[in-house]
Amino acid sequence: MHRSRKARRQPTPKPTSGKPRTVRSVLWILPVAAGLVLAGFVVYGIRHGPAAPNVLLITLDTTRADYLGCYGRAHPRTPHMDRLAREGARFLRCSASVPLTLPSHASIMTATYPYVHGARRNATNRVAEGNVTLAEVLSNAGYTTRAVVAAMVLDHKFGLAQGFGAYRDVVAHTEGDPMEAQRPGDEVCNDAIEILRAAASQRFFLWVHFYDPHYPYVARRPGPASPAEAYEDEIAFVDAQIGRLMQELGNLGLEKRTLVVVVGDHGEGLDQHEEWQHGYFVYETTLHVPMIFWGPRWIPEARVIQAQVRTIDVAPTILALLSQPPLTAAQGVSLTPLLSGDAQDLELSAYSESLEAHSQLGLSPLRSWCVNGWKYILAAEPQLYHLVTDPAETKNQITEQPELAARMREQLRELIAEAPPPLSDQETAVSLSGADLARLRSLGYVGEGAGDTDQGETELDKFEPHGADPRTFTRTIRDYEEARQAIGHGQYPRAEEQLRKVVKALPDAALPLGDLAHALSQQGKLEEAIRLYQQALAQEPGAAHLHVTYGQVLLAAQKLDEAAAQFTAALTAMPDNVVVLQNLGIALSSLGRFDEARGYFERALEIEPENIRLLHGMGVFYVRQNKLAEAAEMFRRALRIDPNQPRVRDDLQRVLRAMGQ
């Protein structure tokens, strides 16, 4: 299904109330909330008469609220964020929509839930152009828009760059180096300060993303440190960078002209609920995030807001404070009535989801719904918690409160029933090179999933949970996370050890079988790897990434016809994937089918004309046909891009000698 950009921008009513009544019955709140937004802006905009401010949006990756002093941390190490909270407004109960970096940031920027904006998982989807972002609205309003991100999972190819005049990705300076997938906070801060200085005389919107608290944590204290201590060190390090940014605002005379918003994208498990990192569950450890608004002329001092809010409310609130038109399809609302004191509670409900256990391991997807201090988790074995008296979610009250659970389940179902039609593959497709996948794996991201093939189904079709409950497999999920980390760092024997345990626990999960096959192939155990790839593809024949990695193993084993068949199968789902095109070209040229092979090589070069590996491969292709002049030109093109390529230089010299030069 294809929907135009204009069609995607049409507003659709979304429920916002947290009261235990049906979702559709609360739609009357929206016009009332809009009126309160206007009232709030009157209080903090027109009354004091400031010009529209600059906006500095700071997003904190993997940051739990309870690790900040302003959220009750004993012996706090976050003086700069604590200062912003003390001088501005702090939201005590802010919920992220998903415990993953790209989907959560997409929700922040579009004010919509993942099932609307379409970027459901890291590295497998992109934010479709049909979405309207905060940056687009501000750019249209004349703001200079700039962004600095710290992890490649937010690179421009994943769709969040729309609306930004400049967008600083994480650039790999070394071809295919998997470790160059993130940047430390001080480098990010240096870039942001440079941008602030350049934009000081303009109205600007600057988004700065800090990634440091993401695993693996770097301890910044002398002596040994526990994982939790190293995690806290990382948060303290980010806080110091925020202090640098605030100091620069002061140096440039911008403090009184800038609205500063600090918000987390998700938290971290830290072994609570037996979750090591994040992404697989929907507990408060990974969904409760800090949110602070600061601006001396727009935000009241020392405002502490206890009402339920969501990260999807960030963009609507910023736009209201700037007196800009709202995002037409927003599910979030402006929180200015809470900032102004005109309302104590907007009675908002909060939706969150996690599809990781389903997509990767075939377990039940998870959805949660927070209403009036209660939290319902829809899973194969549903859960119900009273967050007011049980914030750590230790007592499941599903049997004690069956009527409340049933009512919340129905509210959640009605929310999903309002979902627009699903986005098409073309709208959310993202093409990644082999180097991109290696860099993503170094961050612990999978970048593919066997459960991503539910095309044609509506969100409501997928509402009923199917598959075993992830809580039953917490140890297996931990083993799988450790295996993926090991693969990302080239530790294949360790990955094999962990993956054998995962496959034993979940023999029908195709993705771990494929990962085990990959780990075995990297150790030269090709026969077992081939058998496991066949088993995985029998379980999930539509998994394109399995066709790719299996084809690469077959290519290494010189099973050329079979390799070409696998790459051809992958090309159906990934028509613009350069890795697939190049490998298919290699397989066909090795079979002597040069005309077919050339077409795939040329198509790949049209997509990535400066891909050094591709240019080198094309040169080798010409050598095989004894077309030495063409080969030399390919090698020269590669060396003009990067002269420090010894293999390319040696091949060029051999070709030139053969040509008598």
- Residue-wise pLDDT tens digits, 386-430: 999 999 999 999 999 999 999 999 999 999 999 888 776 667 666
pLDDT of residue 448: 55
Angstrom distance (rounded) from CA 332 to CA 360: 29
Using the predicted structure, report yes or no on whether residue 488 has a pLDDT greater than 60. Answer: yes
Task: Provide mean pLDDT across the span 201-209.
Answer: 96
- Give the confidence band of 51 by pLDDT, cuts at 50, 70, 90: confident
Residue 471's CB is within 10 A of a number of other CB atoms, namely 21
Q: Tell me the average pLDDT across 371-385.
A: 96
Look at the block and give the residue holding tokens 């939201």.
91
| Residue 443: per-residue pLDDT | 65
Question: What is the residue type of 590?
Answer: S
Distance CA(221)–CA(227), nearest Å, equals: 12
CA torsion, ordered 187, 212, 479, 465, to nearest 10 deg = -110
Q: Going by DSSP bridges, is the β-strand pair 288-294/258-264 parallel, antiparallel, or unpaired? A: antiparallel
Neighbouring C-beta atoms of residue 229, cutoff 10 Å: 14
Residue 166 has pLDDT above 50, yes or no: yes
What pLDDT, on the 0 to 100 scale, is given for residue 430? 65
The shares of helix, strand and coil residues in the chain, as percent rounded to the nearest 5, are 50, 10, 40
Whether the per-residue pLDDT at 531 is higher than 90: the answer is yes
Cis previous bond, 216, omega within 30: yes
Rounded distance between C-alpha atoms, residue 279 and residue 353, angstroms: 9
Residue 304 has pLDDT above 60, yes or no: yes
Tens of pLDDT along 143-163? Answer: 999 999 998 889 888 889 999
Q: Look at strands 383-386 and 374-378 and give their pairing.
A: antiparallel
CA dist 132 → 14, 138, 159, 320, 432 (Å): 16, 11, 11, 16, 24
Edge to edge, the sheet with strand 383-386 lists 350-354, 366-371, 374-378, 383-386
| pLDDT class of 444 with cuts at 50, 70, 90 | low
> Cα–chain-centroid distance for residue 84?
26
What local confidence, expressed as pLDDT, does residue 303 receive? 95
**Segment among 148-157, 175-184, 493-502 with least mean pLDDT:** 175-184
pLDDT (tens digit per residue) in 94-113? 999 999 999 999 999 999 99
The pLDDT value recorded for residue 24 is: 28
Check residue 293 and give its pLDDT: 98
pLDDT of residue 157: 86
Q: What is the pLDDT of residue 419?
A: 85
In this prediction, residue 517 carries a pLDDT of: 95
Give the per-residue pLDDT at 450: 47
Does residue 43 carry a pLDDT above 60?
Answer: no
Q: Smallest Cα–Cα separation from 15: which of 284, 310, 283, 264?
A: 310
User: Mean of the pLDDT values across residues 257-270?
Assistant: 96
User: What is d(CA 362, CA 411) in angstroms, rounded to the nearest whole number?
Assistant: 26
The average pLDDT across 641-661 equals 91
pLDDT of residue 228: 94
Q: What is the pLDDT of residue 102?
A: 94
551-577 confidence digits (pLDDT tens): 999 998 999 999 999 999 998 888 888
Quote the tokens at residue 202: 């303009």
Per-residue pLDDT averaged across 442-460, rounded? 61
At position 600, the amino acid (one-letter code) is Y
Contact 586, 617 (CB under 8 A): yes
Q: Among residues 291, 302, 344, 340, which one has the least CA distance to residue 320?
A: 340
- What average pLDDT does this structure show over 441-460? 61
Do 502 and 522 touch, CB atoms closer than 8 A? Answer: no
Question: Which DSSP string do the residues of 458-516 spell out, in sequence order?
Answer: -TTTT-S--S--GGGGHHHHHHHHHHHHHHHTT-HHHHHHHHHHHHHH-TT-HHHHHHH
Residue pair 93/308 in contact (Cβ under 8 Å)? The answer is: yes
Q: Is the pLDDT of residue 45 over 50?
A: no
Taken in order 563, 569, 571, 573, the sign of the CA dihedral is negative
User: Which of 211, 214, 313 minimizes the C-alpha distance to 261?
Assistant: 313
Structure tokens at 569: 């199968």
* Whole-structure pTM value: 0.85
pLDDT of residue 458: 87
Distance from C-alpha of 354 to C-alpha of 282, rounded to nearest angstrom:
7
Cα separation, 614 vs 582, whole angstroms: 7
- Longest CA–CA span in the chain (Å) reads 87
pLDDT value, residue 485: 87
User: Could you tell me which residue, 451 or 225, shows the higher pLDDT?
Assistant: 225
In total, the chain counts a number of residues equal to 661
pLDDT of residue 227: 92
**pLDDT classification of 27: cutoffs 50, 70, 90:** very low
How much is the mean pLDDT over the chain? Answer: 87
Q: What is the pLDDT of residue 545?
A: 84
Confidence band, pLDDT 50/70/90 cuts, at residue 292: very high
Q: Is 145 helix (H, G, I), strand (E, B) or coil?
A: strand
The pLDDT score that the predictor gives to residue 628 is 93
392: nearest Cα among 38, 66, 68:
66
Provide the pLDDT for residue 15: 37
* Share of residues in the chain with pLDDT > 70 (%): 86
* Distance between CA atoms of residues 352 and 104, nearest Å: 10
Q: Give CB contacts under 8 A, 24+ apart, made by 522-529.
A: 522/490, 522/492, 523/492, 523/493, 523/496, 526/553, 526/556, 526/557, 529/553
3-state SS class at 90: strand
Contacts of residue 554, Cβ cutoff 8 Å, sequence gap at least 6:
530, 560, 562, 563, 566
